[in-house]
Structure 1
Amino acid sequence: MSLPYATPFYSQNGTIQVLLQGINFGSALATIINPKRQSHQSLNQQLRQAFETVQLLELLLGQDSANHFIQSSLFYLSFGKDDYIRHFLDNSSGISLKYNGQSFAKILVNQMGNAIRDLYDVNVRKIVCLGILPLGCAPRILWERHNDTIGAGNRGCEDEINKLVLQYNTMLEEQIIDLNAELSGAHIIFCDVYRGIMEIITNPEVYGFEDVRNACCGLGTYGGESGCLSTDMACDQASTHLWWDLYNPSQAVNSLLADSAWSGQRIPAICRPFTVQKLVSYK
């Protein structure tokens, strides 16, 4: 989009020059469900910060100019991955004993829908909403489920976990279709990073990747036993790896997915019903 990186919320000074360049409310760990420990920011916490920023824009620009700015701005929501990692796949949380996969996905999707409605109420009209990547293929999951060295390189993705993720993604996309019909003037797109990464796993050589199982930066089988404590641990050619660490793709994968989301090239139809580039062009 030829824009500078958005300034983190806690680093910005509240001046109009900074606000007009965009704000990043995100954190390294972010869940839809409010966390018991405040080690990372929930969806609700980030929404409150966004609403504070909207109010500040109204004070600095005036109501009409602020409304126009907000309506023409792009809001990017990427949630859900950490909910599954920290609340559902981790048996210590107890949530997986209380809810089945469909019920858990429904809770998360309903909260995402409410968040989008709340944003709409403060004049947000352009929203990109990401699905969850195939966690069943992540190095940490492979290490947990197949913590052995014999034949480890031949293990495939964990279908059971990927099915859980697909339940959420499918429900979220259906919710977005309903919201586009419900909210007049809203343009909300769903970006299917699950499909994009599975395409890379299926055809790695087409996209220039050599290793789609092992983390570039990690220890143990698949690099999934412990995370990336220092970049000194990293492999020599990160760009040939699908996975950077326990659960996160490499920069090369993120760049490929971002280009595909923007233009529909090289992996088509990641974002539906249209590309991010078309979303930006709406007046």
Structure 2
Amino acid sequence: MTCNMSTYCTVITIILLLCKNNVQGIVPAVYIFGDSLADVGNNNYLQLSLPKANFPHNGIDYPGHEATGRFSNGKNFADFLAQNLGLQTSPPYLSLSYKSNNSSVYLTGVSFASGGAGILNSTNSGECISFDQQIDYYLTVYGSIVQQLGTVQAQDHLSKSVFAIVIGSNELLHYVKSNSASKETPQQFVDSIIPTLQGQLKRIYNLGARRFVFMGTGPISCCPALRAQNKTNECNAGGNYASVLYNQAASSLLNEMSTQFTDMSYSFLDTSTVVMQYIQQPSAYGFTEVKSACCGLGDLNAKVACVPIATYCSNRSNHIFWDFYHQTEATARMVVSTAFDGSAPLVYPLSIKQLTS
């Protein structure tokens, strides 16, 4: 069919695309912000970035045994979130920005997550896409969607989409590592970063987000890298307490926002409590190794990252941790399953399933 009205044809194409997406998925799109727990390849495009995972043995269990840039033996949080919502994984923003005629792709979701990213711009500065920069990139996407659909349709599309956020772990890691007598108390540390997070979440809301999924930080001091700093290889209680305080503050912040903005809803996962259950009762969840990383070298496989010269375990499904910081595919799958179908006190006030119904 030949059409002389290019604008009309473009609108029809977009409508058909949106209808197709709504048939296939529970929501039209998922927009992902965060760090390495959700990075699906953005850091591959950062030339000066050290936090990368686009080499073996990462991806050994990913379809095609491909190292895609995920800090995992297979799929991560972003993959399982999309899978549970009946969607394809949102592609990394930087992979789209290098292509032409990509605007319609934004309608099905985009991932801005970047390994090493934090709430503060100073966190791993120059080596990742900071949370503020991720929101700047989203602003570009937002403008493109408005241009395609018009303001009213764009807001309708975005209000039905999911905005997932996984952020805060890198600040917590830096806090625990900078162990000194004069450092801030855990409460002081959390209080120093929450105002920045508040501004960032409100900015995303002002750009059309209405359904938020927020993954709290895990028990940060139980990761192999921090366990290896202790002679007993046990978790550092102080570091984990900071994670608990951060999760409480982030949850309270979302609650305040939902009170202020009555058209906003959210699902918050207490990842710290969820993963601690795996650590304290591993057999109940199918795990046998809770301390050592599957891939690495040295004590607890935590002295060297998962690089080609590292060794890796034969059974990844019974390990909680893949490398010295990141969880295995098996752990990520279980965490997202809880976020999707679980209930209070682990996930609240809504599960993801309830949020998107």
TM-score (norm 1): 0.89
CA contact (8 A) 1:190 1:273 kept: yes
2:169 to 78, 81, 85: 81
1:32 to 101, 116, 119: 119
Q: CA deviation at 1:90?
A: 3.1
Encode CA deviations 1:90-125: one digit per residue, 9 max, x unaligned: 329x9x946332122112222222111111112210
Asked if residue 8 in structure 1 is aligned to residue 8 in structure 2, the reply is: no
Partner in structure 1 of residue 201 of structure 2: 116
Q: Give distance in 2, aligned partners of 1:53 and 1:106.
A: 31
Structure 1 156/37 Cα, relative in aligned 2: closer, same or farther at 3 Å? closer
CA contact (8 A) 1:176 1:189 kept: no
Structure showing the higher helix proportion among its residues: 1
Partner in structure 2 of residue 261 of structure 1: 339
Letter in 2 for 1:133: G
Match runs of 1:119-268 below 5 Å? 119-146=204-231, 152=232, 155-230=233-308, 233-264=311-342
Partner in structure 2 of residue 60 of structure 1: 148
Partner in structure 2 of residue 276 of structure 1: 352
Partner in structure 2 of residue 21 of structure 1: 108
Q: Unaligned 5+ residue runs, structure 1?
A: 147-151
Pairs aligned (count): 269
Q: Give distance in 2, aligned partners of 1:226 and 1:43.
A: 27
CA contact (8 A) 2:186 2:238 kept: no
Q: Give distance in 2, aligned partners of 1:270 and 1:43.
A: 25
Q: CA deviation at 1:218?
A: 1.3
- Structure 1 stretch displaced more, 231-240 or 62-71: 231-240
Encode CA deviations 1:177-227: one digit per residue, 9 max, x unaligned: 211111121002211111110111111111111101100011111111111
Structure 1 234/34 Cα, relative in aligned 2: closer, same or farther at 3 Å? same
- Structure 1 stretch displaced more, 132-141 or 11-20: 11-20
Q: Give distance in 2, aligned partners of 1:229 and 1:257.
A: 25
Q: Give distance in 1, aligned partners of 2:237 and 2:184.
A: 19
TM-score (norm 2): 0.71
Q: CA deviation at 1:29?
A: 1.5
Letter in 2 for 1:106: D
Partner in structure 2 of residue 106 of structure 1: 191
Structure 1 232/224 Cα, relative in aligned 2: closer, same or farther at 3 Å? closer
Q: Give distance in 2, aligned partners of 1:262 and 1:195.
A: 16
CA contact (8 A) 2:304 2:310 kept: no
Letter in 2 for 1:3: L
Q: Unaligned 5+ residue runs, structure 2?
A: 1-84
Structure 1 114/198 Cα, relative in aligned 2: closer, same or farther at 3 Å? same
CA contact (8 A) 1:102 1:167 kept: yes
Partner in structure 2 of residue 149 of structure 1: none
Q: Give distance in 2, aligned partners of 1:226 and 1:138.
A: 14
Over the aligned positions, Cα root-mean-square deviation in angstroms equals 1.9
Asked if residue 69 in structure 1 is aligned to residue 157 in structure 2, the reply is: yes
State the identity as a percent. Answer: 23
Q: Give distance in 2, aligned partners of 1:178 and 1:231.
A: 48
